[in-house]
């Protein structure tokens, strides 16, 4: 194992790295946007670029593990937002929970595949019927979540490079309602808001902080933040 040192990462390289646009975009994309400037519309060419990022990223054996629903209709986005609040949960652990990061100029909803597992995964499930079905299901599910995670990462960075902010949410409180809204039978796995930063407004301020329902629910005007934890990086020689 080789620690990071000047021989490996000299000052001139460090300076060039720190000022590169892609590194700036990576750091920007770490942050969840809790409010958006809804006076603007995302151009169709940018929407297409973001959809390309969501659909043309790598997946195991190029299998299509998920579907993506692309929503710019404000009424639909608001309805889906309502499925992510504690207003739809009887669990006291979720009291006063709200997820305004989905209230973007555009919302992407990643779901499991409409027609179920495809390709080799479908054949695998058929071959394993009655033989270790639990492990087979675990493998297929893990591959789906991995694929969605990669897709979300691609969308996150692509959006950042285009100048947009994002916010991911997997806290759906009312799956039946979101299925009804989208007229689907599959399960939403990840919601991802994409949109314009609200200039002059802290990104952690609740999108609906001044509304009656926000005050009734006791939603904080500003969400807390946690410092990015260090990821272990080890250079092997």
Q: Is residue 227, in this structure, part of any structural domain at all? A: no
pLDDT the model gives residue 109: 97
Total domain count, the chain: 1
Q: Is residue 228, in this structure, part of any structural domain at all? A: no
How far apart, in Å, are the Cα atoms of 134 and each of 60, 113, 115, 129, 169? 20, 19, 20, 10, 28
What does the pLDDT average to over 207-216?
78
Tell me the C-alpha distance between 198 and 56, whole Å: 29
The continuous run of DSSP H or E covering 80 comes out as: helix 74-82
What does the pLDDT average to over 26-32?
88
Tell me the C-alpha distance between 237 and 191, whole Å: 40
Q: Is residue 3, in this structure, part of any structural domain at all? A: no
Q: Please tell me whether the overall predicted TM-score, pTM, comes out greater than 0.85 for this model.
A: no
Q: Is residue 165, in this structure, part of any structural domain at all? A: yes
pLDDT the model gives residue 3: 43
pLDDT the model gives residue 1: 33
> Which range of residues forms the domain containing residue 162?
32-217
* 114 or 70: which leads in pLDDT: 70
Question: Is the pLDDT confidence value at 184 over 90?
Answer: yes
What does the pLDDT average to over 121-125?
61
pLDDT the model gives residue 118: 54
Tell me the C-alpha distance between 36 and 34, whole Å: 7
Q: Is residue 135, in this structure, part of any structural domain at all? A: yes
pLDDT > 90: percent of the chain:
45
């Amino acid at each position: 194992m080789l620690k990071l040192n000047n021989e490996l990462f000299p000052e001139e390289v460090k300076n060039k790295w720190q000022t590169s646009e892609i590194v700036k975009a990576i750091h920007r994309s770490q942050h969840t946007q809790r409010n958006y400037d809804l006076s603007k519309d995302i151009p169709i060419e940018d929407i297409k670029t973001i959809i390309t990022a969501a659909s043309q990223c790598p997946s195991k054996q190029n299998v299509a593990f998920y579907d993506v629903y692309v929503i710019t209709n404000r009424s639909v986005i608001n309805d889906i937002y309502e499925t992510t609040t504690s207003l739809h949960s009887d669990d006291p652990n979720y009291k006063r929970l709200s997820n305004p990061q989905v209230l973007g100029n555009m919302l992407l909803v990643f779901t499991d595949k409409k027609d179920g597992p495809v390709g080799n995964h479908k054949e695998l499930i058929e071959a394993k019927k009655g033989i270790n079905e639990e492990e087979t299901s675990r493998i297929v599910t893990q591959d789906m979540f991995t694929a969605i995670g990669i897709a979300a990462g691609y969308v996150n960075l692509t959006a950042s490079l285009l100048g947009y902010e994002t916010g991911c949410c997997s806290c759906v409180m009312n799956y039946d309602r979101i299925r009804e809204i989208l007229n689907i039978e599959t399960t939403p796995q990840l919601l991802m808001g994409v949109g314009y930063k609200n200039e002059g407004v802290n990104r952690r301020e609740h999108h609906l902080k001044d509304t009656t329902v926000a005050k009734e629910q006791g939603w904080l005007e500003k969400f807390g933040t946690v410092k990015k934890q260090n990821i272990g990086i080890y250079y092997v020689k």
